[in-house]
Structure 1
Amino acid sequence: MQDALFSGLFGALTTEHRMNFIANNLANVNTTGYKRHTLAFKDTMAYYAHDEIREPLMHLRSEPLFPEPKNMARPRIAVSQIDFSQGSMEFTGNPLDVCINGENAFFRVTTPNGDYLTRSGHFVLSSDGTVMTASGYPVQGTGGNIVIPPGTRNVVIGGDGQVSADGVVVNQLALVSVDNPQNLEKRGHNLYKTRDRTNVAEGDAYAGGARLEQGFTEKANVEVVSEMVNMIEVNRQFEAYQKVMQTADTIDRAANDKVGRRVG
């Protein structure tokens, strides 16, 4: 019964991974620009030598020389990816809140560990007027850091990213597109970085049709009801795999007990 025990174990481990992603999605339902993480599974088949043998039969009533194929299925994670679909826009009225209208577009921010990408357009001003993320990282423009002069009363950010302070253009928000968003991975603080051993070609997202909407933020693309249904489903799956392992253990114990009595 070891195969049943291991199948239950592998199933429980994969559902645990899925539960972690669902819990993280729900925890970030109110995080600006957050993108949900999804998992997909497939069955991997364990083959035996006789499964690949198709012996010739003399006639229809001939007895087969080998047993029927018995492929053992064990679930594995097949696809783990980020859903970059557009989230809904929420009006805030804050001139430093900017929403990206377009899926394949990201802001560029600078951190002590290098440049990162983000979808979160909830910006603030530092003490010297630098436009920064809520985590304190400078937002990059086409001319470097975006600095609002002291005493500015009116900040306007156009759809093309141009930042004006009291009618004077001071910079343009850099908006980056990538050739394959699935080569990006989350690095915390709502930031994205290129996966190890992969390359991402960057382009101008404005040229691809992306626009900015001032006074709005992009809500997380997480549907609470769907995620809760997925959580209930995963919880029941985990309980089922537990029962498989418990049943396999009970049968193994009973078999060992009977064998021990006969030997004794």
Structure 2
Amino acid sequence: MDRLIYTAYSGMTGSMVRERVIASNMANAQTVGFRQEMLSATPVTLKGPALEARAMTQGYVQGSSMKQGATMATNNPLDVALSGDTMLAVQTQDGSEAYTRRGDLTITTDGVLQNGDGRPVIGDGGPITVPTGTIVTIAPDGTVLAGDPQNPSTPPQAVARIKLVSTQGSQVGKGLDGLFRVTGPNNTIGTLPQDEEARLTPGALEQSNVDPTQVLVEMVEAQRLFDMRTKVASTAREVDEKSASLMRLNT
């Protein structure tokens, strides 16, 4: 009975974690540059002096799928699509550097270049700021160009260059804010150098790599599995009650 209760409880807890991960993926199926989260479940044996047969399942987010998402042309000069293992650097709320695949860029009223999450895009000297009232375009190497609308014949001038990095060979982790960071020993946070060979595609966006159909099927399966494990807990209760009844009859 003790083993059955632990099995049912462990299974229900694991199913709830799985449903939360699937729900997050489903909610971000249309988010630009989103990376699907992956769940890992590991059995953990409860060791004791008398019995070591009880095992529970410990589920946690293992990481994110770095599979390439579909690229969609938008013809918006501020939209950029990244390919391969390239990411662009943005500034977080605490002023540190993080990385993202979200390339739907906009310019604030103060001239700050930011992505769809409202994170300032980092360049050679920090967050990129462009002159207000200019026509801004982005070159394939990440160079931000500003043109004078009053003189269309004048070539646009380079304002800054977006910091593009490569995550190949680096240990990166995804935070609760959806941004990627370099993780080092003792959970230290590091930064990546500029990748001079990195290129982007202007006028396009990379879509989420979540398959809506697949994630919907996963949600249905997770819900059915939770129901089955709930029935196991109910069965364990019935068996316990019947066993107690038999003990009272013998008495």
Same fold (TM over 0.5): yes
Alignment: residue pair count = 241
Distance of aligned partners of 1:135 and 1:224 in 2 relative to their CA distance in 1, 3 Å threshold? closer
Which runs of no fewer than 5 residues in structure 2 stay unpaired? 148-155
Alignment correspondent of 1:6: 6
Q: What does the per-residue CA deviation read over 1:211-236, in whole Å, with 9 as the maximum and x for residues that have no partner?
A: 21111111111001111111111112
Alignment correspondent of 1:59: none
CA distance in 1 between counterparts of 2:102 and 2:176 reads 14
2:157 aligned with 1:168? yes
Taking structure 2 as the reference length, the TM-score comes to: 0.84
Return the index of the structure with the highest Cα Rg: 1
Question: After the TM superposition, which parts of structure 1 deviate over 6 Å for at least 4 consecutive aligned residues?
Answer: 47-51
Alignment correspondent of 2:236: 248
Distance of aligned partners of 1:48 and 1:128 in 2 relative to their CA distance in 1, 3 Å threshold? closer
Identity %, equivalent residues: 29
CA distance in 2 between counterparts of 1:47 and 1:111 reads 42
Distance of aligned partners of 1:180 and 1:249 in 2 relative to their CA distance in 1, 3 Å threshold? farther
One-letter identity of the residue aligned with 2:122: Q
Which runs of no fewer than 5 residues in structure 1 stay unpaired? 52-69
2:145 aligned with 1:156? no
Distance of aligned partners of 1:92 and 1:2 in 2 relative to their CA distance in 1, 3 Å threshold? same
One-letter identity of the residue aligned with 2:29: V
CA distance in 1 between counterparts of 2:176 and 2:55 reads 34
Tell me the SS of whatever aligns to 1:203. coil
Shift in Å, 1:179 = 5.7
> Which aligned pairs between 1:196-211 and structure 2 lie closer than 5 A?
197-199=186-188, 202-204=191-193, 206-207=195-196, 209-211=197-199
* CA RMSD of superposed structures (Å): 2.6
1:184 corresponds to which of 155, 173, 190: 173
Alignment correspondent of 1:238: 226
Is the CA contact 1:89–1:216 (under 8 Å) kept in the aligned structure 2? yes
> Which aligned pairs between 1:30-49 and structure 2 lie closer than 5 A?
30-45=30-45
Which has the higher mean CA deviation after the structures are superposed, 142-151 or 70-79?
Answer: 70-79
CA distance in 1 between counterparts of 2:170 and 2:11 reads 29
Is the CA contact 1:91–1:215 (under 8 Å) kept in the aligned structure 2? yes
Which has the higher mean CA deviation after the structures are superposed, 33-42 or 241-250?
Answer: 33-42
One-letter identity of the residue aligned with 2:216: M
